[in-house]
Amino acid sequence: MKKEQEEGLKIEVATLTVTVVVVMLSLLCTCGASNLDPLILIPGNGGNQLEARLTNQYKPSTFICESWYPLIKKKNGWFRLWFDSSVILAPFTQCFAERMTLHYHQELDDYFNTPGVETRVPHFGSTNSLLYLNPRLKHITGYMAPLVDSLQKLGYADGETLFGAPYDFRYGLAAEGHPSQVGSKFLKDLKNLIEEASNSNNGKPVILLSHSLGGLFVLQLLNRNPPSWRKKFIKHFIALSAPWGGAIDEMYTFASGNTLGVPLVDPLLVRDEQRSSESNLWLLPNPKIFGPQKPIVITPNKTYSAHDMVDFLKDIGFPEGVYPYETRILPLIGNIKAPQVPITCIMGTGVGTLETLFYGKGDFDERPEISYGDGDGTVNLVSLLALQSLWKEEKNQYLKVVKIDGVSHTSILKDEVALNEIVGEITSINSHAELGLSNLFSG
């Protein structure tokens, strides 16, 4: 009898031990999950999918655009506008370009789609639109997939603690007093997403993680909302490869067209469309950052610096860009305010980046000779580091700068060293209470 009692006691102790272990493990898992601050990804220019639909107002330039492109449509006539691999075929390149083109209406002081072309951004709130620009071509259109995979290994889950904020990247923002219907709606949608992400995670403030152009939108969002809102909803802002002062590469795009690495595309076929982009106008080199002395475009007749943008736009044959540039863009980029939200800038350096364009014949249809300087292959170093110079006297702005040698503008989203740096920063932010604002600059 005594032996049976001892055996029973052993079983009870063992059962109790197992129960305690299970409860402890459950608590550990719960604590681990609760340590994750909600995280929102904001992509760069061309960094998410776009869809389009054609209405009766659409007037195609060719029979091919009317009858043959695209070959595949979704229900209700929607089709993939970006990225569609058929763009590499010249007849379809023209169709793509005319459907991507924006039109500035001076009387309404805003940008609009080509008449008859409706566009939409799929999967807002999710990371689905950011992983691949075309899910059928994962190997060649991968974008944020490696980054999202790394975040999921930390425990982040799409729609729960991890969110995506895709947008129509052709549109930008304008200075105060000027309408920017599409860009402003994105800021409103992003603000709502931030609040929803926080509320669904027990009121935790949100980490914002942007790439490239996305960083400019985030900074505008922060500065367009009161300090009380920022303090409540934003824990930290991580900006990857942000072109704070624009990029010389954009002057190349405006002058001669840019294939963005897509093979077989004639850059002159997409040049007008690229010039029409409101966000591209926003990304031209900031005169305050690049200064009046630095020669950027050199021709036999004239040399252009960032301060000569009006003459440059006229001389390349794009005078219609002058008015929106002078009235909407210059005032917008003239005062880049510190939002007093903790910011970490992570960037690649040491990659040859377009620095000066030489047009020997003065013909912008020709490909120029190019000299290169430091940067991430797309954005110049002086632009990547612009916040450091602009805010050096700011007393209440936490700013950390992380440079990664040899990492390019887009490879920062998949390079192992870069991903480890990004994940490490997020882990550090998750493990600490809200940072006290201090004047911290580190390289």
Closest CA to 368 of 255, 266, 279, 270: 255
Q: Are 125 and 164 in contact (CB under 8 A)?
A: yes
Angle between the N-to-C axes of helices 145-154 and 416-430, in degrees from 0 to 180, rounded to the nearest 10: 40
**Catalytic pick among 198, 212, 279, 383:** 212
Please state, in angstroms and rounded to a whole number, the distance separating the CA atoms of residues 145 and 48.
11
313, amino acid identity: L
Amino acid identity at 351: V
405 is an active site residue: no
Please tell me which residue in 37, 315, 376, 415 is annotated as part of the active site: 376
User: Whole-angstrom distance between the N-terminal and C-terminal Cα of the chain?
Assistant: 74
CA-to-CA distance for 85 and 80, rounded, in angstroms? 10
Among 84, 277, 409, 415, the active-site one is 409
CA 124 – CA 196 distance, rounded (Å):
13
User: Does the active-site annotation cover 438?
Assistant: no
Tell me whether residue 256 is one of the annotated catalytic residues.
no
Overall residue count recorded for the chain in this entry: 443
Q: Is the peptide bond before 70 cis (omega within 30 degrees of 0)?
A: yes
User: For the chain, what percentages of helix, strand and coil (3-state, to nearest 5) are there?
Assistant: 45, 20, 40
Order across the sheet with 162-164: list the strands.
162-164, 39-42, 206-211, 234-240, 343-349, 399-405
Radius of gyration of the chain (CA): 25
- The three-class DSSP label of residue 340 is coil
Query: How buried is residue 191: exposed, middle or buried, by Cβ count under 10 Å (0-12/13-18/19+)?
Result: middle
The residues assigned a catalytic role are 212, 376, 409
